[in-house]
Chains A and B, each alone.
Chain A
Amino acid sequence: MVRVEFLGPIQKEPLELDIENLNQLAAILQADKSLEMWLENSAVAVNDTLVGSRDVVLQDGDRISLLPPVCGG
Chain B
Amino acid sequence: MLSLYNGALDVPTILKEWYEQESASNYGAYIPFVGTVREEDGIEGLSFDIYEPILIKWYEAWKKKAAERGAIIKMAHSRGDVMLHESSYIAAVFSPKRRVALELIEEFVEDFKASAPIWKYDLKDSRRIYALDRSTAIAGSGILGAKS
Contact = CB atoms under 8 A, between A and B. Distances in A.
Interface in B63-88: 77, 88
Interface string B131-148: 110111111111111111
Interface residues of A, number: 32
A41 B144 CA distance: 9
Nearest to A55: B143
A25 B144 contact: yes
A71 B144 CA distance: 21
B53 interface: yes
A39 B145 CA distance: 5
B116 interface: yes
Contacts of B141: 40-43, 67, 69
Interface residues of B, number: 40
Interface in B111-142: 112-121, 130-132, 134-142
Contacts of A67: 51, 54, 117, 138, 141
Interface of A: 7-9, 22, 25-26, 29-30, 36, 39-45, 48-54, 65-73
23 contacts: A7-B119, A8-B130, A26-B143, A30-B144, A39-B142, A39-B145, A43-B141, A44-B143, A45-B54, A50-B140, A52-B140, A53-B143, A54-B148, A67-B117, A67-B141, A68-B119, A69-B136, A70-B116, A70-B118, A71-B120, A71-B136, A72-B77, A73-B35
Q: Which 8 A-B pairs have the closest CB atoms?
A: A72-B118, A8-B119, A69-B135, A43-B138, A9-B130, A40-B145, A39-B145, A71-B120
